[in-house]
Amino acid sequence: MIILFGMPVVQVLLFGFAITNDIKDARIAILDKSNDYMTREITNKLLSSGYFILGENLDKDDQIDKVFRKGNIREVVIFEKNFAEKIEKEKHAAIQIIADASDPNMANLLFNYTRSILNDYQRQLFKDKQFPMQIQTETRMLYNAELKSVYMFVPGIITILLMLISAMMTSISIAREKELGTMEILLVSPLKPLQIIVGKVIPYVLLSCVNAVIILLLSFFIFGMPIQGSLLLLIAETVLFIIMSLSLGIFISTVSQTQQMAMMLSMFALMLPTILLSGFIFPIENMPVPLQYLSLIMPSRWFIIIIKAIMMKGSDIMFLWRETLILVGLTLFFIAMSVKKFKVRLA
Amino acid sequence: MRTILLIVQKEFRQLKRNRQMLPIIFIMPMVQLLVLSFAATFEIKNTNLYIVDNDHSQLSREMTAKFRGSPFFTITGYSEDYQSALQALELRKASQLLIIPSNFERDLHKQDKAKVQVVTDAINGSAAALMSAYAVSIIHDFNIKLLVETFPLVNLLDPIDIRYSFWYNPKLDYTTFMVPGILVLLVTLIGLFLSGMNIVREKEIGTIEQINVTPIHKYEFIAGKLIPFWIIALFELAFGLTLAKFVFNIPMVGSIGLIFGVASLYLIAIMGLGLFISTLADTQQQSMFLSWFFMVIFILMSGLFTPIDSMPAWAKAINIINPIHYFIPVMRNVMLKGSGFADISKQFWSLVCYGSISISLAVWRYRKTS
């Protein structure tokens, strides 16, 4: 019991704080061949930005490969010789940025941050140089002005925990009865398959609802997730999603004979695809087209859309009827499939 | 030694008879590697852009043409109506709006400056930052081109020349980064769960009693339980690496021997953990929940998807007990950068410690009496 309630709480807390895409404290190495006032100033600027911390000071080119191979340093910034002198006399000097692109996203972001810090610096340096005919671009971030990745991840974490816990609990518990042979006893009783299934599911519905409430409370009070839309709608959708996950669990259990099998199915077939294909961490728009179609049948995808829309955009049911209908459809599909499978086994 | 071999033989027979499990153990991980590696990408290939053009000038049309021509942007709407653009954003038909105010062209010529606005749906913060940067850079390029055309003599060169290069993966190909990581994950799932479920299953069915009354030693029993899954997992790793090489064209700069050396060590650590969990639990359900709990934490905090550097200090401290976070950098560094033993010695010795602790815990907790 403690496991069932304690686990989700621990996980929400851990992930809410620890999983982030924001770049912070990335280790960089500096190879400063000129070491004058200007390169020191730029280095200070980079290190005080909060994105970078100094991992190492290098003094030879051939050290670059060595530090990268150790894997702690993400980026090396190289100043050419006589940097300040060149800037003053020739109005031109070079800085080279080498990023460890074995992590491409990180490399891209780090490079962009470094470039914008350097650009700020040179704009300050040459304030007087003004271009005519400037197009000024004003950028605005809607729904999440501070670009917090908590907003992105908390809905995903809620979805994954609810789905995996509900689906896994039911699938294992039914498979367990099968494996231990107690299912036979239920089957020879005058209960109808539907009654058995519904009876088995109801306790888990209640359990998952309690879990859902705990998780939502945590995300509201601890992570400061806004709830712009109607709380009632949010709860209704959550219950719908829980029922969906449970019926998925029942379906898994009707096709598997042993607990091990049920677990491997809910684990392998559910965990990675739910994490990867639902848009939880990786945006769906970026995936290759066949995978985008595949993600259409991931229930978690639709629920993540619903939660995000209700919590952050304050959308109402008018905007979400399609997603809701899909969840209802999936629920009915899984229930129908499992009732059918169930009967086959009886014959 | 012979006893161990006999237990190994028994495990393999049991596995062979289990027709349902075999495809799950062997085929599912490979299918997932093939499919999911493509899904895991932060690369932004397409942004749905809605353009609100209130100016309708030659210039505004030229600028929107730039966006139409860019492979990053798909124009999903074009109108003068700000409200309908906002609605498109809410319905997720567009993830970015470009708003060109009226008198855009006139302001630019008369006042030497004009404004445009880029509004981005920022629920996914890091993607929004990149999308916004792309849009800004397209507008900037357009601006520069315009300037060069109007004033051919202006010196537009920046004083600091920023050169850059991306090492080890110059095309910023995401599968190169993900495949080694997902491979680790699949091998871990096999190792942790199969071993974790195994002893509990014998407990639950009652066959453990039969083993308990035989003169098999504790360490022989544990070893006999571990070796089959160890072999299976290493086999899967070999298969997965082959796929990585030939299907994904992942460069393999480093030594394959080193990868397998560390992998066998890692598997022992992971399986020891699984066995330890299974000696704690009485039913498969419990054991599974415990393994699942650790697994989800280990996966999400391992640096597989999100950078470890950005985690708060306490989370990094928790990662000490996360075996995956030792192995993933080893895989990546050895495969992609050709790191040698000296480079990964820290992770190696950590895994040695981890393995010996988890195995001794498992042997210690396993009681032959119930």
Domain boundaries, chain B: 2-40+172-365, 47-150
Mean pLDDT of B320-335: 87
Indicate the fold that domain B47-150 takes in CATH: abc type-2 transporter like fold (3.40.1710)
Q: CB count, 10 Å around CB of A31?
A: 20
Mean pLDDT of B360-368: 79
pLDDT of residue B213: 82
Q: Which of A30-39, A264-273, A321-330, B346-355 shows the lowest mean pLDDT across its residues?
A: A264-273
The reply to whether A122 touches chain B by the CB within 8 Å rule is: yes
Residue A339: pLDDT band by 50, 70, 90 thresholds? confident
Mean pLDDT of A11-25: 74
Nearest CA in chain A to B143: A135
Residue B369: pLDDT band by 50, 70, 90 thresholds? low
pLDDT of residue A342: 66
Question: Residue B231 above 80 pLDDT?
Answer: yes
pLDDT of residue A248: 85
pLDDT of residue A347: 37
Mean pLDDT of B296-309: 81
Q: Report the mean per-residue pLDDT for chain A.
A: 79
Q: Of B24, B90, B139, which has the smallest distance from its Cβ to A135's Cβ?
A: B139
| Interval A186-200: pLDDT, tens | 777 777 767 777 787
Min Cα distance B140 → chain A (Å) is: 8
Q: Which of A135-144, B63-72, B197-206, B238-247 shows the lowest mean pLDDT across its residues?
A: A135-144
Residue by residue, DSSP assigns B90-154 as HTTS-SEEEEE-TTHHHHHHHTSEEEEEEEEE-SSHHHHHHHHHHHHHHHHHHHHHHHHHH-TT-
Mean pLDDT of A301-328: 81
**What is the bridge-based pairing of β-strands B73-79 and A75-79?**
unpaired
Min Cα distance A110 → chain B (Å) is: 11
Report the alpha-carbon distance of residue A96 to residue A115 in Å, rounded: 10
Question: Residue A284 above 80 pLDDT?
Answer: no
Nearest CA in chain A to B141: A135
Q: Report the mean per-residue pLDDT for chain B.
A: 82
pLDDT of residue B71: 82
Scanning A316-335 for CB atoms below 8 A from B yields 319
Backbone Cα Rg of chain A = 27
Mean pLDDT of B3-20: 78
Identify residue B348 by its one-letter amino acid code.
F
Question: Residue B286 above 80 pLDDT?
Answer: no
Residue A346: pLDDT band by 50, 70, 90 thresholds? very low
Mean pLDDT of B110-114: 81
Looking at the predicted complex, does its ipTM rise above 0.85? no
pLDDT of residue A183: 72
CB B98 within 8 A of CB B78: no
Contacts of B112 in chain A (CB under 8 A): 132-134
Contacts of B151 in chain A (CB under 8 A): 132
C-alpha torsion A147→A148→A153→A154, nearest 10:
-130
Contacts of A104 in chain B (CB under 8 A): 42-43, 166, 169, 172-174, 176-177
User: How is chain A split into domains, by residue range?
Assistant: 23-125, 150-346
Best residue in B123, B151, B173 for a mutation probing chain A (most A CBs within 10 Å)? B123
pLDDT of residue A12: 76
Min Cα distance A188 → chain B (Å) is: 23
Q: Which of A298-312, B30-44, B51-65, B184-198 shows the lowest mean pLDDT across its residues?
A: B30-44
pLDDT of residue A82: 86
Does this model's pTM top 0.90? My answer is no
Residue A140 Cα to chain centre, angstroms: 23
Structure tokens at A283: 């945006």
Residue A343: pLDDT band by 50, 70, 90 thresholds? low
- Sign of the Cα pseudo-torsion (A88, A89, A91, A97, in order): negative
Report the alpha-carbon distance of residue B9 to residue B315 in Å, rounded: 42
| Interval A136-160: pLDDT, tens | 777 777 776 666 666 777 788 788 8
Give the CATH superfamily of A23-125: abc type-2 transporter like domain (3.40.1710.10)
pLDDT of residue B156: 59
Q: Which of A109-123, A258-272, A281-295 shows the lowest mean pLDDT across its residues?
A: A258-272
| Interval B171-204: pLDDT, tens | 777 788 888 888 888 888 878 877 777 777 777 7
C-alpha torsion A3→B203→A168→A203, nearest 10:
-70
pLDDT of residue B340: 81
| Interval B22-35: pLDDT, tens | 777 777 778 778 87
Q: Which of A64-68, A225-229, B64-68 shows the lowest mean pLDDT across its residues?
A: A225-229
pLDDT of residue A132: 65
Residue A26 forms beta bridges with which residues?
A52
pLDDT of residue A13: 78
